[in-house]
Structure 1
Amino acid sequence: MKKNTTLTKWIVNIFFVVVSLIALFPLLSLIISSFRPSSELMRNGITFSINWSELSLYNYIHIFTQSPAYWEWYGNSLIISTLTIVLSLFFSSMVGYAMALYDFKGRNFLFLCVLVIIMIPFEVLMLPLYQLMINVNLINTYTGVMLPLIVAPTAVFFFRQYAMGLPAELMDAARIDGCTEYGIYFKIMAPLMLPSFSAMAILQGLNSWNNFLWPLLVIRSNDLFTLPIGLATLLTPYGNNYDTLIAGSVMTIIPIIVLFIFFQRYFVAGLASGSVKG
């Protein structure tokens, strides 16, 4: 039995290693291509074959020394993504928490509206949202980009489902001790929801960082472009910006990796603390 179990574990591990390598293949190709000159990229495209004599740091040197616009786009994406994560976690968690643990008139109808919005593609809502941004004069602003993402229906649904598993007895005990409703949320319930905060921070950060279509509609000025839009402007028929495009694409992966590593740590810690309900 032990031999069969060990053999099964080895087979499963080998299988997942192979799957991981297949998933990482495009990323490795992109990283290797970022060290190639733009002329070589135009001739052969992004490939996994390595010619060590052609690899250099020129593309990255070019980004750090001759591409000031790239760092403006990078800063815009960092500002928008950071604010979107913080505001989305704050408001979406409170809405989901209220829907789960408070009994008020119209609660089920509001939750049904959340489910309906989740099922509607963003392309359907895009034009009404765009018209709304025009009416409130938020075109070409950070606020116009972030506003539709602050209370995301997916995040509200996720927080509601997680909050439904929290012990409601803690709320009654806190009320007896004289704690306010806001105090109950911020001091008692929010710490128990840390795993959900960590998971949604990764998801919302990824969505905001890679968001292309909505910022493309709202933003007008080049100095407000986010990274996806800015990198898209480098695509020309002549390929004279590939040195910035490929290396810049690799640099965009760094914040997502840092975000995942940072919140993965707190996800485990929050899971342990959330399991203690006494």
Structure 2
Amino acid sequence: MNKNKTGKEKLISTGMVLLFSIIALVALFPVIALVVASFSPASDLMRFGLTAELFLSSWNTENFVALFGGEGGAYWQWYINSLIISAFLIVLSLFFSSMVGYALALYEFKGKRFIFILVLLILMIPFEILMLPLFTMMISLGLVDSYFAVMLPLIVAPIAVFFFRQYCLGLPKELMESGRVDGCTEFGIFARIMAPLMLPSFAAMAILQGLTSWNNFLWPLLVLRSNDMFTLPVGLATLLTPYGNNYQILFSGSVMAIIPIIILFLFFQRFFIAGLTSGGVKG
């Protein structure tokens, strides 16, 4: 009986591996097709479209040469702009959002519940509804066509505040009392005692905020004016014009755009699942 049970378990395990392998291949198909297209000449793209079929005889690096030189001379500037904005936005968002979520979770003060309800309400409002008043604000502050215009509305993200608040609900308040007894300030308690315990949540939110910032298109499109200030998604969109679509360069540029997100995920992956599951246990 035990042997049959073991056999069934092995069969189920093998079936699950095959099932998830198929799901992974389906999910990876667009990425594979994108990489194949980035090495294909424009004539093949027009004839066969976006496909994962390998025509190795016609593969070349001309698309990447054109991207980094000639037609795509501004690509590196767009890349640098996106890197700067994403890096600063991740750091600032983690710093401010974690402190807000920490205060909402572990401190008692008047208006605490009201503030949390406001966070939830803002979380439920689509960003597209808020863009017009935010854009008016950027104009009045004179920040249009600058890094600050892209970052400022996203520094304290409602989703990050909510996430950190949920995570901090699981932290022991006794550690705060111990810190106070030892003469530590409130900020010292947060920075020296509680923040190290929040590392999984920082890692998980760094990935989510980094991905959001890196792929952000609509808001930068609205507040950025000059070609030298464009972020990568906005810059790549300029390659599609009524007078000619540089799909081959667009695909190669998109492949290069994936690299920072992969690096970010690989760097924080060991904390990612732990941060997501721990943050959703208590509420």
Amino acid at match of 1:176: V
CA contact (8 A) 1:38 1:240 kept: no
Match in the other structure for 1:172: 177
Taking the aligned partners of 2:27 and 2:63, their CA distance within structure 1 comes to: 25
Is 1:25–2:25 an aligned residue pair? no
CA contact (8 A) 1:194 1:267 kept: no
1:146-179 CA-to-partner distances (Å, cap 9, x unmatched) read 0111000000000000001000000001100101
CA contact (8 A) 2:204 2:275 kept: no
Amino acid at match of 2:62: Y
Match in the other structure for 1:276: none
Taking the aligned partners of 2:109 and 2:245, their CA distance within structure 1 comes to: 60
CA contact (8 A) 1:42 1:239 kept: no
Runs of 4+ in 1 over 3 A off after TM superposition: 237-240, 265-271
CA contact (8 A) 1:192 1:270 kept: no
Q: For residue 124 of structure 1, give the secondary structure of its aligned residue in structure 2.
A: helix
Q: CA deviation at 1:62?
A: 2.2
Match in the other structure for 1:130: 135
Q: CA deviation at 1:216?
A: 0.5
The 1:132–1:240 alpha-carbon spacing in structure 2 relative to 1, beyond 3 Å, is: closer
The 1:222–1:28 alpha-carbon spacing in structure 2 relative to 1, beyond 3 Å, is: same
Match in the other structure for 1:72: 77
Match in the other structure for 2:234: 229
Q: For residue 140 of structure 1, give the secondary structure of its aligned residue in structure 2.
A: coil
Q: Which runs of 5+ in 2 are unaligned?
A: 277-283
Q: For residue 74 of structure 2, give the secondary structure of its aligned residue in structure 1.
A: helix
TM-score with structure 2 length normalisation?
Answer: 0.92
Is 1:210–2:215 an aligned residue pair? yes
Q: CA deviation at 1:138?
A: 1.1
The 5 A counterparts of 1:43-192 are 43-66=47-70, 67-192=72-197
CA contact (8 A) 2:204 2:273 kept: no
More displaced 10-residue stretch of structure 1: 73-82 or 260-269? 260-269
Q: CA deviation at 1:134?
A: 1.0
CA contact (8 A) 2:33 2:52 kept: yes
Match in the other structure for 1:274: none
Q: For residue 240 of structure 2, give the secondary structure of its aligned residue in structure 1.
A: coil
Q: For residue 104 of structure 1, give the secondary structure of its aligned residue in structure 2.
A: coil
The 1:239–1:52 alpha-carbon spacing in structure 2 relative to 1, beyond 3 Å, is: farther
Taking the aligned partners of 1:267 and 1:194, their CA distance within structure 2 comes to: 10
1:11 corresponds to which of 9, 15, 19? 15
More displaced 10-residue stretch of structure 1: 79-88 or 237-246? 237-246
Taking the aligned partners of 1:5 and 1:166, their CA distance within structure 2 comes to: 38
CA contact (8 A) 1:191 1:270 kept: no
TM-score with structure 1 length normalisation?
Answer: 0.94
Q: Percent identity?
A: 63
> In angstroms, what is the RMSD of aligned CA positions?
1.7
Q: CA deviation at 1:128?
A: 0.9
Taking the aligned partners of 1:40 and 1:115, their CA distance within structure 2 comes to: 49
CA contact (8 A) 2:98 2:161 kept: yes
Q: CA deviation at 1:70?
A: 0.4
1:41 corresponds to which of 34, 38, 45? 45
The 5 A counterparts of 1:220-259 are 220-237=225-242, 239=244, 241-259=246-264
Provide the aligned length of Structure 1 versus Structure 2.
272
1:193 corresponds to which of 192, 198, 201? 198
CA contact (8 A) 2:138 2:144 kept: yes
